[in-house]
Homo-oligomer: A and B are copies of this chain.
Amino acid sequence: MSFESKLKSAVSKCGFLCLGLDTEIEKLPVPFSKTPDSILKFNLEMIALSSNLVAAFKPNLAFYEVLGKTGWEILKKTCEAVPKDKIIILDGKRGDIGNTARMYARAMFNELGGDALTVNPYLGEDSLAPFTENPDKGAYLLCLTSNSGAESFQLFPPADPLYLRVARRAAEWNKNKNIGLVVGATHPQQLAFVREAAAELPFLIPGVGAQGGSLSDAIRYGTMGGKIPSLVNLSRSVLYASSGSDYKEKAQAELQKVKSEIDSLLTAKVTN
């Protein structure tokens, strides 16, 4: 199945949320022992409790690499536990010259079984091709990130900033309908500019939970009234919703709350 079809189907079944698996030993709820095994156990619980509430899961590779080969094994088992109709986005922000990018593509798509990955566009067109040549796999290009450092390079030059150039080129390169853009919800005005530059591309939108970005603008420009299968990512606000033994109920409640807010925003849009 093409990435485009799988993404549309996952979103139409369960909505626009993505759960980021940025799992840290130190932050696990009290019931867990502080060992690497606990990360896998916690991930499997998070996947099980959220399967009706999210379209996608996004493991953040740094949190697994820090544990060396054990972490890599936990990451693989986590991916294996994701239901087959969900999108797995491997968030490693990789990007390298062609022959190296080809290796990353094999690592992410074949070895780990991801449906998509996040890619840093700095190295340009030939560095992207290995990630997008198979229409069954997808690539989300960093466009405008949610952190303060986005100002260092992405917003320059003001007259025609880098992030908009990335958005325009991504739209041109999207022959296989498998390219998306990472656009932080912490930049509501710029979400509109990115949508203008890339009318049809799905967004992956971080910054709504712990970072305080605008859900309303994320949904407005991300989905264009529910028509585009963009994903709003939540990580820490769900994973660490409670440090006590009610962590599962609290995580589920947080997802349910944001899902309801999205439903309301989309209903309001239809009614207006």
Q: Which residues of A contact B (CB under 8 A)?
A: 22, 60, 62-63, 65-70, 72-73, 76, 93-101, 103-104, 106-107, 111-112, 120-128, 142, 145-154, 156-157, 160, 162, 165-166, 169
Contacts and interface: CB of A to CB of B under 8 A. Distances in A.
Contact of A153 (B22, B69, B166): B166
A132 to B, nearest CB: 13
A101 to B, nearest CB: 8
Contacts of A151: 124-125
Contacts of A106: 66
A149 B162 contact: no
Mostly, the A contact residues are: helix
Contacts of A99: 22
Given A73-B69, A123-B150, A147-B126, A165 B156 contact: yes
A123 B147 contact: yes
A123 B157 CA distance: 15
Contacts of A142: 122-123
Contact of A120 (B70, B120, B128, B156): B120
Given A121-B122, A122-B145, A124-B149, 20 more contacts: A62-B101, A62-B104, A62-B107, A65-B103, A65-B104, A65-B107, A68-B73, A69-B69, A69-B76, A93-B96, A97-B145, A97-B147, A98-B147, A121-B153, A122-B122, A122-B154, A123-B150, A124-B152, A152-B169, A153-B165
How many chain copies does the complex carry?
2
B104 A146 contact: no
Contacts of A73: 68-69
A98 B95 CA distance: 19
Contacts of A101: 62
Contacts of A112: 68
B153 A124 contact: yes
A186 to B, nearest CB: 11
Contacts of A152: 121, 123-125, 169
A233 to B, nearest CB: 12
